Chain A
Amino acid sequence: MELVIDRLTKQYKNKIAVDRISLTLKEGVYGLLGANGSGKTSLMRMICGVLKPTSGEVKFNGIDVSEEEYRDSLGYLPQNFGYYPEFSAYDFLLYLASLKGLTKHQAKLKATELLELVGLSESAKKKIKTFSGGMKQRLGIAQAMLNDPKILVLDEPTAGLDPNERIRFRNLISRLGKDKIVLLSTHIVSDVEYIASTILMMKDGQIIHKGRLDEIIGVIEGKVFECSVDSKRVNYLIDNYPIINIREESDKTFLRLVAEKPPCETAVTVPAVLEDLYLYYFNEGGKKS
């Protein structure tokens, strides 16, 4: 099972959203991290055949993205997915099941099973317009899995979910990654940290890092510092270093930041986490030391 993305490019009038990305994805969970406008959604939409690339190609086991057979292997949860307000959750799934080529019998079984899985069994017959944001998101996740896809593309799947739902959903995705290619994008770094076997970092339309969590964090290992400084020093550090965390303490200010060498006498190096790397790259203004 192999999803090959070859020199994939999307150019809008004077902006390159995705810039010659080449990737080969196999079974596993891939976490796509990037700031707003980095090209994540454009990349995902092209992988799903929703957006036509300017150049390049996407193939799954040799089948082109434009073919029906490719879409038969695909499950997609868009960032702001739509729904029919007058449809019940159950009918919505039945409709998408027929769009995905399931027979009526299969559709009924699968819809019931997935509603149970995402905890919407009791609301199955309720109109979607009465659903909360989290319930709609869970329904979106259910529809993406209707055809038991080999490629599962999830754009911000945990947005709108409460902490319990998020954890439940993270576990579900982790399990799916065993025999599927799961590509998910999120702003919630900890989600990626917990479930992604491979992390893809995207910036300005390009993949700037790809690897396991420990590999990717290696870039800033030994460069993450914590210190408590007085108010005079705080402004200097904020202006000159990518700040990961600021906390006001009784008479001082606690800072967590990224720097090539200790930024002040009291600074101590601490183990880096993915969020440090994320903020290091996507900090406002991109202030890398």
Chain B
Amino acid sequence: MSSYWELVKFEYRKVLCKRSTIITLLLGILLTALSCVGPLMGNDYINGEVFESNYEAMKKDREYNRRLSGRELNSELLSETIKAYRHIPLTEGQYSDTNEYQKYARPYSEIFYHIRKAYNINSLKEISSITKENLDDFYTIRQSRVENNIDDTTMSFKEKANSIKLSRAVKTPFIYSYMGGYWRFFSQMQVTAFLICFICSICISPLFAGEYIDGMDSLIFSSKYGKNKIIRAKLFTGITFTVLLSILLTIISYVTVMMFYGWDGSNAPIQLYIPLSIIPLTLGQVAMLYFIIVLCGNILSSALTMLLSAKLKSPFIVLVIMTVITILPVFVRVSEDVLWIYHLINLIPVKMFDFSNIISIFSIDLLGIIMQPYELFISFSIVVSIILLPLAYKSFKNHN
């Protein structure tokens, strides 16, 4: 067994001593950290003049929202919000540019978002149509909106029933909490996941194909462990490299984002972020779930990279194919009307990384088993990776 770990150590060395790996890793870390704080750079303009910097805006909103933290999202808070928004004059242009918005409404902007979603408000004028009774029935109206949304989909009866059942398990009332850190983290993780995927493709593509290019294949295949232990060591290296990189870049993203935006909100329900979500989980749990999906998706991508690396003769061709697989699906938009195609496309790793695909209202009936998209993503990634890894093993072993 010790020789196995010795081989793993050498495989890591081969990956890490490459200049391309070092540059890619350093760039990846830098890009991750920069993209976390990117939205804080620059300014907010009103009528062509700098109103405030984005960083100041974040701090101001954080302060406003923290004042509301701990309050129940009930008719009292909703009334306060509507009252604040009624100060805004009904004029042309963006209402957020008005002084009244800045003075009265902005501190309630997060709560107003919930009102808009629950009462299906598209313009400021429509807030007058919300009655006191409507506000008292906030959770009933919200639930009815959720169920209408579910009903409007092309899901089967069984799938719809499951989504409705799940949505009814969401605990109410919601206690408001500032969650700017999580809001930013969820936006950032898609970029981070994409970076992890790309870095892994660059670093892992030479794992097998690099031996052909270096002319080391003959020496490896003629050695005692050249057709068994070394292949297992390579596969282990590829997978653990992906896991470690995913953990590293996720931690960098999480810590950087939270340091700037604030650590609050991990116990708050996901519905504070996506008001009509059907998932009964907290922001902290969703963050963990998101990480697991990013991890699984990247393991799947790495397993595919290793299979291509074992099959093809050049790491460059592997990298080109993986780049196409990584980038192209980002531009593919599939209608939700034909759900099986929609779900199938979402199984491509980069599609899994889209937060809206993870926390969606869909349930999926897969051969009689009803599951949520995130459950399908995780199971699919694990099953397909388990299939791909032995294929990579066999391809390298049988390479002539």
Contact = CB atoms under 8 A, between A and B. Distances in A.
Interface of A: 45, 48-52, 66, 68, 71-72, 74, 76, 78, 80-84, 86-87, 91, 94-96, 98-104, 143, 147, 153
B125 interface: no
A78 B223 CA distance: 12
A49 B17 CA distance: 30
Interface in B101-154: none
Given A76-B218, A81-B218, A82-B215, A51 B400 contact: yes
A212 B178 CA distance: 90
Given A68-B228, A71-B227, A147-B224, A98 B214 contact: no
Contacts of B227: 49, 66, 68, 71
Contacts of B14: 84
B10 interface: yes
16 contacts: A48-B218, A50-B218, A51-B400, A68-B224, A68-B227, A76-B219, A81-B219, A82-B214, A82-B218, A83-B215, A84-B216, A99-B223, A99-B224, A99-B230, A100-B225, A103-B2
Q: Lowest 8 CB-CB distances: which A-B pairs, in order?
A: A82-B215, A99-B223, A82-B216, A78-B218, A76-B222, A82-B214, A48-B222, A98-B6
B225 A86 contact: no
B398 interface: yes
Contacts of A100: 223-225
A220 B226 CA distance: 44
Interface core residue of A66, A71, A98 (most chain B CB under 10 Å): A98
Given A98-B225, A153-B222, 5 more contacts: A80-B215, A98-B6, A98-B10, A99-B219, A99-B225
Contacts of B218: 45, 48, 50, 76, 78, 81-82
Contact of A98 (B7, B18, B216, B222): B7
Contacts of A80: 215
Contacts of B214: 82-84
A101 B7 CA distance: 10
A98 B217 CA distance: 15
Contacts of A99: 7, 219-220, 223-226, 230
Q: Range of interface residues on chain B? A: 20 to 34
Contacts of B18: 86
Contacts of B220: 99
Interface core residue of A66, A72, A86, A94 (most chain B CB under 10 Å): A86
A79 to B, nearest CB: 9
Q: Is the interface of A mostly helix, strand, loop or mixed?
A: loop
Contacts of B6: 98, 104
Interface core residue of B18, B216, B227 (most chain A CB under 10 Å): B216
Contacts of B217: 50, 82
Contacts of B3: 98, 101-103
B221 interface: yes
Nearest to B19: A86
B2 A49 contact: no
A68 B225 contact: yes
A54 to B, nearest CB: 11
B219 A143 contact: yes
A112 B298 CA distance: 41
A86 B206 CA distance: 15
B275 to A, nearest CB: 54
B132 to A, nearest CB: 74
Contact of B226 (A71, A84, A153): A71
B222 A101 contact: no
Nearest to B398: A52
Nearest to B14: A84
Nearest to B11: A95
A182 B216 CA distance: 22
Contact of A95 (B2, B10, B215, B222): B10
Contacts of A82: 211, 214-219
A71 B223 contact: yes
A8 B220 CA distance: 22
